[in-house]
C-alpha cells in the first residue's frame, strides 16, 4: 500500500491510500499500547509473588499480535533494563518471538548457547547483538524460559542490569555546534562495545510540546544568554511531559544533525531527561 501511494500519479487515489495507512498505523499503535499494558501487568504480578524480576524476561500471551512483539520487547527492555523476548502465536502450534538486549549482552550468541545446550528446543533463530528473532513450539516455551533466565544469570553482572548511563562529560556552550555534530557523525562507525559519544548537562527549557503523540520536542538554552538548541526525546512518560511547571532539566544526550527542507542544524537526541 505504501509503494502504491508513493507511485500513484492520481492525487485523490494517493490521499485515500495515505488515509488507509494512517488508520492502519493508529490500529497498530492501539494494539501495541494494549500489549504493553498487559506485559507490564504480568511483570507486576511477578514482582508481587517473587519480589524481584528475573534477569531475563520472556513474555507471551495467546492473543498478542505477531507483528508488534518486537516493539513490546523494546519498550519493556527500556523500562526494566533487562533482555526481553516477547512471543506471539504463529499458527500450527508455533510461537514466534522477537528479542531486544541491553549493552554488554550479545543476544544472538546467547540464543546460540541455549541451542547448543538444548538441541531442538529452538526451531530456528537469527539476529545480532541487540536484537534477534526465533521460533519454537508452544510446548517448548516453559523450558526455553528457564534456559533463557539461566544463561542470562550466568552472563550478566548486577551492574549491567542497573541501567547506569555512562557520559563522556559536559560540553561547553562553545562546543554545542553543528560542526562538532558532523565530526562525530563521520568519526564512526559506532556500535556494540563502541558506542557513539554521550554527553550530559543542565538546560533551561524555552519551549516544549508533544509531536507524534508521545515524543517531546524541546527548545533548550544551555546558558542564561540567547543560545537556543533544538532537542527531541522519544517515547516520554506522558504522565510527566509536557509540563509547563518544569523550567530546568538535566539531560543525557547525543549530538545529531537535523536535516529538514534543505536546512541543517544541530539537534540533541535525548537519551534521558530529569526535571530539576
How far from the centroid of its chain's Cα atoms is residue 184's Cα? 22
Per-residue confidence of the chain (276 residues) as pLDDT tens digits? 999 999 999 999 999 999 999 999 989 888 888 888 888 888 877 765 666 889 999 999 888 988 899 999 998 998 889 999 999 999 889 999 999 999 889 999 999 999 999 999 999 999 999 999 999 999 999 999 999 999 999 999 888 888 778 899 999 999 999 999 999 999 988 886 788 999 999 999 999 999 988 899 999 999 877 789 999 999 888 888 999 999 999 999 999 999 988 899 999 999 999 999
Candidates 2.40.50.460, 1.10.150.80, 3.50.50.60, 2.60.120.330; correct CATH number of 173-275?
A: 2.40.50.460
HEC states along 160-174? CCCCCCCCCCCCCHH
Secondary structure E strands in the chain: 57-60, 84-91, 94-100, 124-127, 131-137, 199-211, 215-221, 229-233, 248-260, 263-275
249 backbone dihedrals φ, ψ, rounded to 5°: -140, 155
What residues does CATH 2.40.50.460 cover in the chain? Answer: 173-275
**Rounded-to-integer distance, Cα 27 and Cα 240, Å:** 25
Candidates 3.40.50.2300, 3.40.1440.10, 3.40.718.10, 3.10.310.30; correct CATH number of 2-155?
A: 3.10.310.30
145 backbone dihedrals φ, ψ, rounded to 5°: -60, -45
Report which of 123, 73, 117 is spatially closest to residue 99, judged by C-alpha positions: 73
What residues does CATH 3.10.310.30 cover in the chain? Answer: 2-155
- What's the start-to-end Cα distance of the chain, in Å? 46
Amino acid at each position: 500500500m505504501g509503494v502504491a501511494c508513493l507511485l500513484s500519479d492520481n492525487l485523490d487515489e494517493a490521499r485515500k491510500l495515505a488515509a488507509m495507512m494512517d488508520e492502519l498505523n493508529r490500529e497498530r499503535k492501539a494494539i501495541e499500547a494494549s500489549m504493553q499494558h498487559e506485559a507490564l501487568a504480568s511483570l507486576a504480578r511477578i514482582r508481587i509473588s517473587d519480589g524481584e524480576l528475573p534477569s531475563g524476561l520472556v513474555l507471551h500471551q495467546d492473543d498478542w499480535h505477531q507483528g508488534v512483539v518486537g516493539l513490546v520487547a523494546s519498550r519493556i527492555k527500556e523500562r526494566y533494563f533487562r533482555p526481553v523476548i516477547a512471543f506471539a502465536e504463529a499458527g500450527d502450534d508455533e510461537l514466534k518471538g522477537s528479542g531486544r538486549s541491553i549493552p554488554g549482552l550479545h543476544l544472538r550468541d546467547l540464543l546460540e548457547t541455549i541451542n547448543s545446550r538444548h538441541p531442538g528446543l529452538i526451531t530456528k533463530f537469527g539476529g545480532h547483538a541487540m536484537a534477534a528473532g526465533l521460533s519454537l513450539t508452544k510446548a517448548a516455551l516453559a523450558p526455553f524460559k528457564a534456559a533463557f533466565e539461566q544463561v542470562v544469570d550466568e552472563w550478566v553482572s548486577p551492574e549491567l542490569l542497573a541501567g547506569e548511563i555512562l557520559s563522556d562529560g559536559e560540553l561547553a556552550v562553545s562546543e554545542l555546534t553543528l560542526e562538532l555534530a558532523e565530526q562525530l557523525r563521520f568519526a564512526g562507525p559506532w556500535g556494540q562495545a563502541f558506542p557513539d559519544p554521550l554527553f550530559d548537562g543542565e538546560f533551561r527549557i524555552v519551549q516544549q510540546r508533544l509531536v507524534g503523540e508521545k515524543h517531546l520536542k524541546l527548545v533548550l538554552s544551555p546558558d542564561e544568554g540567547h543560545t537556543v538548541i533544538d532537542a527531541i526525546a522519544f517515547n516520554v512518560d506522558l504522565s510527566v511531559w509536557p509540563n509547563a511547571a518544569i523550567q530546568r532539566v538535566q539531560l543525557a544526550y547525543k549530538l545529531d544533525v537535523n536535516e529538514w527542507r534543505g536546512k541543517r542544524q544541530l539537534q540533541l537526541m535525548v537519551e534521558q531527561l530529569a526535571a530539576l
